[in-house]
Amino acid sequence: MAKIHSTAIIDPKAELDSSVEVGPYSVVEAGVQLGEGTKLDSHVVIKTGTKAGKNNEFSQGAIIGGDPQDRKWQGEPTFLTIGDDNHFREYVTIHRSNTEGNSTVVGNECFLMAFVHLGHDVKLHNDITIANSCGLSGHVTVEDHVMIGGMVGVHQFVRVGRCAMVGGLSKLVKDVPPYMLVHGVDPTVHDINAIGLRRQGITRESRLALHKACKLLFKSQIGLTAAIEIVHREVPITDEVQYLLNFVERIKYGKNGRGDQK
């Protein structure tokens, strides 16, 4: 039987695995599903439409699966889907989708520090770390192994590519290329995320190729289309370089956000 504090309020229509622990004054609404090993600290609220997998931990004051902050939403049934082994620290807030039948999604092994906010329809992949007081607007996508520093604001529909690192206090209004280190109010690619790449087991050959591609794509005065052609000719096309090229070719605002596609 689930270990539930006497002051917690659990709706009879919620589904809790027998190993779930719920702390003082927490609330779990109807229709919520919480998997094996899940733990709720005190004053946690899990809203209807939320489904969470195994071994998730929700710290004090987290509000999970709240209504989307969108004027267009009129109460349609929407969802939040959470994978396994995630940590949601104090006062994290996550909102459901704003479109009937759709979900905001958090993958596996993510670590969201205190006061992080995920807006409606955000998609977090796996093994993502987001530091304190970051805000992700609606429809943001963050790919695997990303690290985002504290107090970062992310505009709606922005994508952050896999294994990127975003420095604290940055303002993201355009896509962040994978494998890169980005920082600033007008974000600039500084170099490859060398430490993160080594931690993920990316080979030295591929790291060197990514470094050369980075210089051509983001540090030169060459237009994006021409830079991509040079990378294809002069840089070893490892799996990571190919992924970077595919991502950059889809960046909405062009090279470094200037719309330079020549």
Active site residues: 120-121, 138
Going by C-alpha positions, the residue among 219, 218, 209 that lies closest to residue 242 is: 209
CB neighbours of residue 223 within 10 Å: 15
Query: Crossing angle of helices 204-214/239-248, nearest 10°?
Result: 30
* C-alpha to C-alpha distance for 20 and 261, rounded to whole angstroms: 53
Token representation of residue 124 = 């977090």
- Do 140 and 157 touch, CB atoms closer than 8 A? yes
Q: Which residues does residue 130 pair with via DSSP β-bridges, in sequence order? A: 112, 148
**Residue 185 token pair:** 């109010």
**DSSP one-letter code for 217:** I
- Separation between Cα atoms, residue 118 and residue 127, nearest integer Å: 16
The tokens for 19 are: 């190993």
133, burial (CB in 10 Å: exposed 0-12, middle 13-18, buried 19+): middle
* Per-residue 3-state assignment (H helix, E strand, C coil) for 226-245: HHHHHHHHHCCCCHHHHHHH
